[in-house]
Amino acid sequence: MNTEFAETTGASEAVIDAVAATARLTAALRAAESARPDRLFHDPFAARLAGVAGAELLDQLGMRDSPIIPVRTKYFDDTIAETVSSGIRQIVVVAAGMDARGYRLDLPLDTVLFELDRPNLLRLKDELLGAAKPIGTRLPIGVDLATDFTVALVDAGFRADRPTCWLVEGLTPYLTESEVHQMIDRLSSHSATGSHLLIDFVGTSLLESPAMRPMLDRLAERGMTWLYGTEQPEAQLENRGWRATVTRIGTVGTSMNRWPFPDAPRGTPGVPQGYLVHATR
């Protein structure tokens, strides 16, 4: 199903395809989390980045109470903070969507943050953010992530000889296995010693779970089909020179008192898994 979402922003009308519209959904979940009295983080830009489109998707998909995005966001927020504390000053957000970390995190002022995503999505994001000022230097780069995005990244000033923090959040389920391999190959070839990679994966157990089927079907009906999952994400990274620490999202969510499901080991029958990965070189 080829679905498109359009929103008039005053300056122009931006048309976003169905997979890119998940960026609005993610922003809506971050806005909902930010409104909670026990919130895990505060994203003051999320509501405007979600807009009506994101809020409607949230209700249509019945995901308002889902803890996955809040837990994942908090985990990556904290890990990015650790990397900049260690001296990293170059961050690349792959498939940045409506991510506002360049505006809301306490980053050093000499940080350079590159955002990669589709040109029309980045244009809409800039319009929605209006006069908001990023912390440090933010460089949005419109690219097709199915191609070699490193060319445009280097042209924009990226330094492959400097340690980088790569963030690849919420992207891998929408890619084929070969596309995931190609993406990791590309960023690995531009990662100096001391670089960090933050990335998440869903398990094949989740894709095959009867309990998850209604949600996956609702996503597929809107053109947001999940294609790829793995129970061994470290295998994607260690043969490319990364040392990977893999944590089940249920374990992280349980530690945050925000996980209503069993936190079971990998391979537990009937338990769908998702993984948060922090890899270093």
CB 7 within 8 A of CB 51: yes
Tell me the pLDDT tens digit for each residue of 234-280.
Answer: 998 999 999 999 999 999 999 999 999 889 898 899 899 999 999 99
- pTM of whole model > 0.85? yes
Cα–Cα distance, 64 to 25 (Å, whole number): 10
Answer yes or no: do 132 and 167 share one domain. Answer: yes
Phi then psi dihedrals of residue 161, to 5 deg: -90, 0
Number of domains in the chain: 2
pLDDT above 90: residue 12: no
Tell me the pLDDT tens digit for each residue of 88-108.
Answer: 999 999 999 999 999 999 999
Answer yes or no: do 198 and 235 share one domain. Answer: yes
Cα–Cα distance, 35 to 51 (Å, whole number): 15
16-25, 201-210, 220-229: which range is least confident on average? Answer: 16-25
pLDDT above 90: residue 17: no
Answer yes or no: do 152 and 245 share one domain. Answer: yes
Residue type, 278: H
Answer yes or no: do 271 and 147 share one domain. Answer: yes
Among the listed residues 113, 8, 116, the one whose alpha carbon sits nearest the alpha carbon of residue 52: 8
Answer yes or no: do 271 and 186 share one domain. Answer: yes
Give the range of the structural domain holding residue 34, as residue numbers without chain letter.
Answer: 4-60
Query: Has residue 178 been placed in a domain?
Result: yes
3-state class (DSSP) for residue 179: helix
Give the CATH number of the domain where residue 91 resides: 3.40.50.150
